[in-house]
Chain A
């Protein structure tokens, strides 16, 4: 932080001449702090990841451990209370974070493994190949994601993985489109022409020039899909199609609480709702902030 102020006054600092910015002078951390969206997003997502990891080894009570404290109000023993089977809400929420993250990661991996290469191929090959790829994407796009998830769950049995496979496949067109349009921009740039002028072949140009330059755009798309996938996962388990009970998926918890206890014990509905909302907010903020964070052109601001 201070180096950007001090540099013009003391040009000899770090051997950097006046008017020049030392490469990497502003560290990643410094840039993160100046970018509230990325900062809050990182903190929220970091906290959720930490909680999910923690839940692997420790939760206050077992997430599916029954007790006689049924429908207890929040107390020191049960900070968020218990549900109708006496299961600790906090422990269940922690374990639910794991389910949510797993669904997000799985959907993003499926969508990007297919969508990014398809988009790159469409952009680079052009012509008929591009038409074929993008029309196939349109076709997939026209098929409703939730219907696909319901169908797949009916065919393969409902589990987090089947549902997220459907969400991931349904998101392939988004990835293909975003990748293609970003890649087209890079491919028409003069530095790609320059790279061809010094003898780089097509594949190497895609790998060394196109991919790094579209990475911020694709990462933003990934984090947005992450939140969409978590939301869809919650919605599907709410409908009883995703993660089966007795797992503590947030959608499942919400369905149970809302259906049976919304009037008598609204806090039980509040906790999973908050967890879903905060997680999605976190990923959206992170997605918005990532772009600026990854662009070295913005580093010296």
Chain B
């Protein structure tokens, strides 16, 4: 069993402080702060448009040119936001690597997959073509590709979605990185393959003793893998805490909604024929989030307090909300959200 260093005394491997990203005048991320310790697995969860992917791209320095970032991203003590492109290239793929959502489009369609895995090693380890090819086959075998020697000669379109994502994993761990950023690595895959790829990912980061930042909109995916969760909404972190704690006692109304919706499919519910719970409303367009609390346009607890921005506060379990849910010692909710027009169901899965 690995011990999850939730409150770590060691200096954080990745420290993001007050990271803000703007697209022209429009804020995409606002004051995002979090840390990832060595070997820790952190989940970033939220709906599309919540800023999860932008956070990852900002960390690795690959924001689109039209976006600008301010704040601090410290990796192993090095401030990445102000570092040179050359230095970033040395780190990328070597000490920080990234797994993308759609393995079909993230692999060069004209390059055999073995060669693409070898590319990472040729860039960072200076391997020659033949050495890189041999190492690539080993790596492909390690991520569970059958008959890796043969498959290494395949083009991406000749592999299945799961196989392609395994190739991406092989590329991500090729140099034994300290930090792996996985952006929705299983979203594009079949449900049955999802689980296999997640297990593979977990094994690889364990073996390499890498830290993992796993980005997903799927609470089940992140909670199965991560020590700690950050819930994002509207470009802000609205709640963070240890996975078990956060799932059992969600405090932010948005998190509570997420937990309720992900616990939606149950035999009880199927029998009762109750409507599936949903979080009311839709994510606003970028730039049209309300002032103050970004969630207040969809929140049934919102009142005049919420016109001021709440601050992320608390000890190990932080929440940015003026009216957070409170829970008794046994994990049950003391108060339930007013039914109102919202269908947000209360309570955490036990």
Give the interface of A toward B (CB within 8 A). 15-17, 19-21, 23-24, 126, 189-191, 193-201, 204, 208-209, 212-213, 296-297, 300
Contacts and interface: CB of A to CB of B under 8 A. Distances in A.
B301 interface: no
The 6 closest A-B pairs by CB, nearest first: A198-B93, A199-B93, A190-B105, A197-B98, A199-B92, A194-B106
B155 interface: yes
A17 B147 contact: yes
Interface string B105-128: 111111110000001100110000
B62 interface: yes
B171 interface: yes
A199 B155 contact: no
B206 interface: no
B233 interface: no
Interface residues of B, number: 40
Contacts of B93: 197-199
Contacts of B171: 194, 198
A301 B119 CA distance: 28
Contact of B106 (A24, A193, A201, A296): A193
B110 A212 contact: yes
B305 to A, nearest CB: 41
B106 A198 contact: no
Contacts of B62: 193, 196-197
Nearest to A296: B155
Contacts of B174: 198
A20 B109 contact: no
Given A194-B100, A296-B110, A199 B105 contact: no
Given A20-B154, A194-B106, A199 B123 contact: yes
Contact of A296 (B91, B92, B100, B157): B157
B158 A199 contact: no
A300 B159 CA distance: 12
B336 interface: no
Interface of B: 60, 62, 65, 86, 89-94, 97-98, 100, 102, 105-112, 119-120, 123-124, 146-147, 150-151, 153-155, 157-160, 168, 171, 174
A297 B107 contact: no
A212 B155 CA distance: 14
A197 B92 contact: yes
A195 B168 CA distance: 11
B327 to A, nearest CB: 40
Given A197-B98, A198-B92, A23 B105 contact: no
Given A23-B153, A198-B93, A198-B171, A191 B124 contact: no
A195 B91 CA distance: 13
Contacts of A297: 109, 155, 157
A215 to B, nearest CB: 8
B108 A209 contact: yes
Nearest to A189: B105
A208 B98 CA distance: 20
Centre residue among A193, A198, A208, A213 by max chain B CB count within 10 A: A198
Given A190-B102, A191-B108, A209-B108, 16 more contacts: A19-B160, A23-B153, A23-B154, A126-B65, A190-B100, A193-B62, A194-B171, A197-B60, A197-B92, A197-B93, A197-B98, A197-B100, A199-B91, A199-B94, A296-B155, A297-B109
Nearest to B94: A199
28 contacts: A17-B146, A23-B153, A23-B155, A24-B153, A189-B105, A190-B102, A191-B105, A191-B106, A191-B108, A194-B100, A194-B107, A194-B171, A195-B108, A197-B92, A197-B97, A197-B100, A198-B92, A198-B119, A199-B89, A199-B92, A200-B119, A201-B89, A209-B108, A209-B111, A213-B109, A213-B110, A297-B155, A297-B157
A292 B123 CA distance: 31
Nearest to A202: B85
B147 A15 contact: yes
A173 to B, nearest CB: 26
B123 A198 contact: yes
Given A189-B105, A190-B105, A191-B107, A199 B100 contact: no
B160 A191 contact: no
Nearest to B123: A199
